[in-house]
Amino acid sequence: MAARPLSEVSVGDVVGPVTVPVSRETLVAYANASGDQNPIHQDEAFARSVGLPDVIAHGMWTMGASATVVTDWAGDAGRVVEFGTRFTKPVVVPVGGNELVVQGVVKAVDVETGRVTVDVTTTCEGEKVLGRCIAVVRLD
Amino acid sequence: MAVNPDFVGRTYPPSGPYAVDAALIAAFAAAVGSTDPVHTDPEAARAAGHADVIAPPTMAVRFSQAAERAYVVDPEAGIDYSRVVHGEQRFVHHRPITAGDEVLGTTTVDAVRSAGGHAMVTTRTELSTTTGDALATSTSTIVVRGGED
């Protein structure tokens, strides 16, 4: 996989949409890889005991899965120079799993610096779960 | 107990070092669904200009949250972790976190403010290697939900 050439990127280009499945097993794998073992992301009884509707995904998993859609488009996961988001709505993960839909739009291309700004929209069950999710990748 | 505003401006001593290896990178990449070979194939990573396999961009959180822990569990800081939700996260990457790195995290408390009965706490963690390479700046805002107590 090679990085996408800057010359092939224009404002208005669409990234995705990509459908990303999430299961309880995904969250256990993410907990182990990230070090975030908060039981609200694994234990349904605990999640309900603190007022949540069910197990919820780590916000950082949702952010990370959204980043993957951008890095796959960029062609090299090392090209992300900035990435930020607000966590606006939890992703509920019932026993049967759930899915995200991640889509991006190129908002700016700086041909001098190679910086490409992508606005990312991540939804679950039709509702946005991330706010102001913006990635900047550097392309040549 | 309210979140203590006197901590704003405080910088904690560097946390770590945390060793980064290929197995950890592969596990994190799999968990966020990234099949880019730069995470798992050293040859592909080198062909893309990296010294070895590299972490997905959000893996920086593993080290920034480890560094922030000294602050959030400090009893004097007044943060009830059972009431914490993650509000906002931002990374500025200086170079990819790479297998073989020994990562240090230095956390500064940037802001403590109140909004609608909740406290919003913003920390900034500078990640670098033990050899002095800047890796990433992680800025995190947690929301400490207000309670009846």
CATH code, domain carrying A14: 3.10.129.10
- Average pLDDT, stretch A73-87? 97
Q: What is the CA radius of gyration of chain B?
A: 17
**CA gap B137, B123 in Å, rounded:** 10
Task: State how many domains chain A has.
Answer: 1
Confidence of residue B82 (pLDDT cuts 50, 70, 90): confident
Per-residue pLDDT of A22-39, as tens digits, reads: 999 999 999 999 999 999
Amino acid found at B75: P
Q: Which of B24, B32, B54 sits opposite A68 (nearest CB)?
A: B32
Q: Which of A33, A63, A83 sits opposite B31 (nearest CB)?
A: A33
Predicted structure pTM score: 0.96
Please indicate if any CB of chain B lies within 8 Å of the CB of A33.
yes
Cis peptide before B17 (omega within 30 of 0): yes
Confidence of residue B54 (pLDDT cuts 50, 70, 90): very high
- Average pLDDT, stretch B126-140? 98
Structure tokens at B87: 């509000």
**Model pLDDT, residue B149:** 46
Angle at A59 between CA A57 and CA A65, to 5 degrees: 85
Percent of chain A with pLDDT over 90: 97
**Model pLDDT, residue B81:** 84
| Interface contact flag, B36 A71, Cβ < 8 Å | yes
Confidence of residue B102 (pLDDT cuts 50, 70, 90): very high
Percent of chain B with pLDDT over 70: 97
Please indicate if any CB of chain B lies within 8 Å of the CB of A114.
no
CA distances from residue A131 to A4, A85, A123, B72, B74 in whole angstroms, order as listed: 26, 6, 10, 25, 30
Q: Is A130 helix (H, G, I), strand (E, B) or coil?
A: strand
Q: Is the residue at A1 inside a domain?
A: no
Q: Is the residue at A39 inside a domain?
A: yes
- Average pLDDT, stretch B37-57? 97
Please indicate if any CB of chain B lies within 8 Å of the CB of A28.
no
Instruction: Report the run of H or E that residue A115 belongs to, with start and end.
Output: strand A115-124
Per-residue pLDDT of A94-104, as tens digits, reads: 999 999 999 99
* Domain region containing A127: 6-138
| CATH hierarchy code of domain B7-20+59-144 | 3.10.129.10
Tally of residues, chain B: 149
- Which residues of A are less than 8 Å from B65 in CB distance? 34-36
- Average pLDDT, stretch A85-113? 97
pLDDT for B148 beyond 80 = no
Alpha-helical (H) ranges within B56-106 are: 60-72
Please indicate if any CB of chain B lies within 8 Å of the CB of A43.
no
Average predicted confidence (pLDDT) for chain B: 95
Strand pairing category for B84-93 and B134-144: antiparallel
B90 neighbors B77 (Cβ within 8 angstroms): no
Please indicate if any CB of chain B lies within 8 Å of the CB of A101.
no
- Average pLDDT, stretch A43-61? 95
**Model pLDDT, residue A1:** 63
| Interface contact flag, A63 B58, Cβ < 8 Å | yes
**Model pLDDT, residue B1:** 58
**CA gap B64, B104 in Å, rounded:** 9
